[in-house]
Amino acid sequence: MRPTFVLGRIAGVRIGVHWSVLLIFAVIAFGLARGRLPDTHPGHGWPVYWAVGILTAVVFFASLLAHELAHAIVARRNGVEVDDIVLWLLGGVARLKSEAPNPGAELRIAGVGPLVSLLLGGLFTLAAWLLDTTSAPGLAVEALAWLAAINILLAVFNVVPAAPLDGGRLLRAFLWWRTGDRLRATAGATSAGRAFGWFLMVLGLFLFVRGDVFGGLWLAMIGWFLVTAATVEGQQAQLRAVLSGIPVRQAMTPDPVTVPAGLTVAAFLADPRYRYRHSAFPVTGEGAAPVGLMTLDLAKRQPEEQRHAVTVKQVMMPLAEVTVVEADDPLADLLPRMQPGAEHRVLVLDEDALVGIVSASDVSRTVTWLMKTIPRGRGGGRGT
């Protein structure tokens, strides 16, 4: 899940937002402003209801962010680097660069999110009770009560033992500890995730037939997401087992064609070296050090009349936005960050020197080769 725009950084973690957040934000604000709030506390003007509804929705997403930040912070304390946090339609996700090193770390990383949501639910409950005892405005009490309920519900839902929910991670930690086999543990958690997802889809269909159109569709959508995400997670676990022990250098395209940062976009598009075979090229600055990534698509977006005056450096993806790895890093740890598309190429360094580039197709070819040459049963090593 790639963010549509980035809000900034909190505790060193980049915070992104997917466009679908706007949809669920509008649903929550509308439901409160035109439904729950006027039903429970009539007599106020519509601007008041909308103001409270929007503010409540903002606080709710802040709660989701706190949930995911807890995952990210505990992950870093357990030696797992964090790519970023992305808020989207069905909540949020902290994208980790690698897996937990052992079952204990998995347990801590997975468990802290629901714990934070439960704690927030308790705090909102306490705040609602205190305001109610002091005869505070009923709308404020109602908003806090809603936030308390939704955070507690979020905590309870997330501990359901089904991947990719936090409960699925907790189940995987238990199975990993019990069997010593991370791959078998992941298979068990993903199977539970698919089963739970199908249950929600069937329940959603039942509610839809009974007349609860919105609730039924919402449950069915969550179920579909769980089935899809659990399936992808299981496939990635199998790929990680196949790629166990394989360094990035074995999958990369070595000595890639590079583009000087000062080259004009017109010259870049006219040069035959950049028009065939590849669609993305590392950009180098002084001393041949990589400074970014240039794609044919980025170049072609520039108005034709401006291409002679605009340099590659002005339109490229800067190095900070490009995935960069070391040649001897485990290829399996790169899987969660790989996506199709020229803009998702990975630059490979060896002692700060550019030595290669990796695409999703490179990884796919490596997996195909390994599947043909490595005996069955390889992978799924024991946890430490």
In sequence order, the β-bridge partners of residue 5 are: 17
In sequence order, the β-bridge partners of residue 6 are: 16
**CA-closest candidate to residue 101, choices 89, 109, 90, 91:** 109
- Which residues have a catalytic role annotated? 68
Pairing between β-strand 259-260 and β-strand 91-96 as defined by DSSP bridges:
unpaired
Contact between residue 144 and residue 110 where contact means Cβ atoms under 8 Å apart: no
The CA angle 368-82-281, to the nearest 5 degrees, is: 55
Residues 19 and 87: their CA atoms lie apart, in Å, by 9
Residues 40 and 43: their CA atoms lie apart, in Å, by 10
Rg (CA), the chain: 24
- CB count in 10 Å sphere of residue 127: 18
- CB count in 10 Å sphere of residue 337: 15
